[in-house]
Amino acid sequence: MDVPTPEQLGLQIAQARERRGMTQEALAHSIELERSTISKIESGARKVSAIELSKIARALHTSMASFFRSPAPAIVSHRAEQGEEADSVVDMRLERLDGFITLIRRIGSLKGGALPSPWERPDTVGEAENMGSRLRSHLRLGDAEPLTDIAHRAAESLGCYIFSAELGEDTADAGSMLLDEATAVAVVNASRKPGRRRLSAVHELGHALVQDEYTVDWRTATRDDGLESRLDRFARAALLPAAELGRSFPESEAREGLRDACVRIGSRFRVDMTTLAIRLVRDLSLAGVDSFDTIRQIRTTKSDFIRLNLVNPPEEFAGVTQPLLYQQAVLRLFEGERISAQRAVELLEGTVDFEDLPPRPEGRAEDIWDFIS
């Protein structure tokens, strides 16, 4: 938008506050102002100083820049459709990431891939299985290879930038938004357990591949009805390839029993036990119906890693995480003196501190002659 009037700026502040679930009094208290002052700022009766705006943005967990731009059309449409039912935390998070990526692309570049032409929406569980296999093929995964480093693979090969942050237990599992026909952004709630986070990330990647404009997903579906359930099936097929499970699970179960077989496969493919139970029992019928609850209730222990000689890899989407290609783009802008240190740290969301920023190249005194000779 153009430079906003006090009334327009006040409205942006009020809407951000309401999406955050804060009262005027709570916001005023957090930044040491009177409630009446906040009321006047939001109505446009009083101008807000840059320092005050900075404090307001910090209190609302957003950026100052968000008050000076119009939300993406997908966000506007979603808010209008959902009204008070919209998940404000995911909503604001996606808006923030949209702003970050828009800035980077305006003054620099992201060197990731691009979304392919829209994939057909899976109308059956068979089509969902095929879509999972298609994703594995697109990512050039071997038949028995686990799908790891999801955020980097998604950005590099598919132009889908998946971030994570602690959004809270009472917030959605994940959300995603189409930025344009070639790029999507998603956020995963890091408050969930590791296996569930990975499932949510691939589920959101599915929304990007069929080019859904905007989605917020509260939980994995449990019944075979609707697109959400079929995208869960797609995600399970991508994470737990049917052919490999059909080969390795019966062998492992016969050799070491149900529990150890599930612990071994869950660890190898980095999925939670609920996802594994659904895959083995309901999707592929590799285990009996009566074993569903038994599998789901298995808890992998430290001794399991020792006994079974398992690898305990770094968790994906733990806390604040960002795609590597996004972080590299930010650092290129900083080293090229296109953004300040403060903006770089803001864009990197605490994953890099001021003291960790790379040194900028120092010019030589004689370089001035390149400009005046």
Give ranges for CATH 1.10.260.40 in the chain. 6-83
The tens digit of pLDDT for each residue in 317-351 reads: 999 999 999 999 999 999 999 999 999 999 999 99
Q: Say whether pLDDT at 263 is over 60.
A: yes
Q: Say whether pLDDT at 1 is over 60.
A: no
- pLDDT score of 236: 98
The tens digit of pLDDT for each residue in 6-50 reads: 888 888 888 788 877 889 999 999 999 999 999 999 888 898 888
Class level of CATH domain 6-83: mainly alpha
- pLDDT score of 8: 81
The tens digit of pLDDT for each residue in 136-180 reads: 999 999 999 999 999 999 999 999 999 999 999 888 999 999 999
- pLDDT score of 66: 72
- pLDDT score of 89: 83
Please give the share of the chain, as a percent, with pLDDT higher than 70.
89
Q: Say whether pLDDT at 370 is over 60.
A: no
Mean pLDDT along residues 113-129: 96
- pLDDT score of 269: 97
The tens digit of pLDDT for each residue in 55-103 reads: 898 888 777 777 776 666 666 665 556 555 455 788 889 988 998 998 8
* CA distances, 119 to each of 35, 67, 136, 345 (Å): 51, 35, 14, 36
Mean pLDDT along residues 102-131: 94
